[in-house]
Every structure is written in C-alpha cells, then in structure tokens.
Amino acid sequence: MSTHQRIIEWEDPAIHAITAHEVSGLEHIQRICAGELPITPMAAHVNLRLISAEKGTVVGEFQPDHSHYNIMGTVHGGMLSTILDTIVGYASYTMLPAGMAQTSIDLTVKFMRPASSTQGLLTCIGEIEKSGRRVNFSQGRILNQDGNIIATATSSLLIFPRPALNKA
C-alpha cells in the first residue's frame, strides 16, 4: 500500500465578503471566471474551476482524483453533491444584486452513473429555473466528456440581505 498526499491551497475568503457588497452576484462570479478574483476556498478544496457565467447560468469543470473516492473505487456521492450544491448556488447568486446573500434550503441529488478520475474533466452546469424575491430555484448537472449525465440536482435557495461588514 502506498500513501498519497494532496495539498489544498486557497486564498483568504475575506475578499469575497467585500466584493459581495460592491458588485452584483453576476459580476462577482464573472470576476472569478476571469481570474480577477480567486476561487472560493470550498471550490479550491474540491477541484472546481469556474469557466463561464451569465445571468442564471454558471459552467465549471471538476477534476476528480483518488482523494474523492469511496470504498467502491468511484467518486463519493457526497463529493458530487457538494459540487452540485456549489454550482447551483453560483447560478442562483448570478441573479442577486450587490449586498444580497443566499443559503441553501434544500438539495435533491440523483446519481445516474459513477464518476472516476479516469474520465478526465467533468462539466458542471448550474441554471436558474425560477428567480423570486425571497427564494431562487436552481438545477444542476454534472456531465462526463461524452456528454452523459453523471448526476443532477435541484435546489431552493433563500435570499436575504448580506450582513454588514465588521469594520473594526
């Protein structure tokens, strides 16, 4: 048996709290896609990279590795759920004006086929189904390189004013 190590690097997330008060969710995500802002720590932790964002839609790429595996030798469903929760949240966030925040109310995931590191980059797509004043409804999917669906999700996200920044 051999031991493996994965080093996770991320930048201070405080920049995101500041940016969220200054620009819309769409502009915030677009700045991450353009490399003007770092990816969030959670996205860095799970190997999720954002590719594009427009109002109501975010596309990313997930590179699974063996550290994401379960006992069956495939990517753990919890990892896929985390990726889906993140991408549908980003899609919802593109609908929000500056100063607003959100949190997941629910997440329903369906697994269609296994994922593994041998499949290469997986495409992750989050889209808004309906945007409301208090709740956004999003859907997401993870696709392999052949375009086959690995997993899907639906989510409801509660919208609320972002807490003021502590300027101490």
pLDDT band with cut points at 50, 70 and 90 for residue 167: low
pTM of the model: 0.94
pLDDT tens for each residue of 52-61: 999 999 999 9
Q: What are the residues facing 18 on neighbouring strands?
A: none
Domain ranges of the chain: 14-161
**DSSP per position, 36-53:** SSPPPHHHHHTTEEEEEE
User: What is the percentage of the chain residues whose pLDDT exceeds 90?
Assistant: 90
Cα(156)–Cα(154) distance, integer angstroms: 7
User: In terms of C-beta density within 10 A (0-12 exposed, 13-18 middle, 19 or more buried), how is residue 23 classed?
Assistant: middle
CATH topology of domain 14-161: Thiol Ester Dehydrase; Chain A (3.10.129)
Per this entry, what is the length of the chain? 168
Residues 58, 5: Cα–Cα separation, whole Å: 30
